[in-house]
Amino acid sequence: MPRFPATEVTNWAQIQDRRDTTLQTFRQINIVATVAGVYEPPLSNLWDSPGISPASRDPADTAVGCWTQRQKDQSNLYLQTDRKSGVMT
């Protein structure tokens, strides 16, 4: 059986088979994630950056350099950026 077999989550027999196969292979199950078939509308798509895609309705309130500065300054745990000027405070 492949490591990540396709499973019809509405078919109880397939779910039980995946459980049994996992227990035979690994002897225990540490975590179960039920995320199959989750529909996410285009408005909440993470690939649409704020202010760039018309599908995104989030305000463009990020400033260039904020993330790189945060990586450089490990002692400051939280950097705020002024929304109008883009200056970090």
| Structure confidence by residue, pLDDT tens digits, 9-37 | 778 888 889 889 889 988 888 887 766 66
Quick: pLDDT tens for 33-73.
766 665 555 555 556 555 555 555 545 555 555 545 555 55
Q: How far is the C-alpha of 64 from the C-alpha of 13, rounded, in Å?
A: 51
pTM of the model: 0.38
DSSP-derived letter for residue 52 is T
* Domain ranges for the chain: 12-84
Helical residues (DSSP H) of the chain, grouped into ranges: 12-26, 66-72
Q: What is the Rg, in whole angstroms, of the alpha carbon atoms belonging to the chain?
A: 22
Q: How far is the C-alpha of 21 from the C-alpha of 24, rounded, in Å?
A: 5
Locus of tokens 């895609």: 53
